[in-house]
Structure 1
């Protein structure tokens, strides 16, 4: 299943008449799948985050709600339920990657930052001004607040 198939399955899932809280969690999962895009490291990740309308729910809260929606002990014949579960799991992974993580700073020299993604271990070198907000390998969101604080001082 690719991202678009997972998004389509979750959109169908919205029509099942869920509580407002569950609908918001599903919408956050769809948004995360659209934003993460699962692109190879040779392509560029989106630089700007698109805000979900009045983001009332925290990412972790949405993940907890979606986790409850995964079936347990699905019979082999229940193909639709397994596809649904795959879509929900993809949304959970995409949501998790939207939780900013601090890159591991390996070296800072002459305005360049050599760092490593704490989730996949990919090493990246970029200048402090044009650094990427996402890991080009696994798609996780970076938290550069530590570096931003140093640059302001």
Structure 2
């Protein structure tokens, strides 16, 4: 039952991330309005994300508690660390591509996002994408690493 609730919470929060990434982010060719419409989506997804992170923690806590073989525990720990490295690498590349497509960071006067806060209507998908979703859930599962 815990596995099913974990999968459902993962699916709902991932769907929320995808919606924010694709529907609440203005493309660089678009015209900026006032405010960040993504704040609505973020406010709606945040409770589901927190629930999903808690369920991930509980699920991996049960798996860790039931694992008898020390080699499997070490393999899970090493795999989790490698997965975190992979997610960080791809998330950083994705962020750099987005910032480059917008003409530079928020501190560059020539960029489209000059003067905006880091989380704005153009950069919602820097923070809400598959890579950051996978990263926070991997960290949540790795917190209960083998003792």
Same fold (TM over 0.5): no
Taking structure 2 as the reference length, what is the TM-score of the superposition? 0.29
Higher strand share: 1
Taking structure 1 as the reference length, what is the TM-score of the superposition? 0.28
Does 1 or 2 have the higher relative contact order (CA < 8 Å, sep 6+)?
A: 2
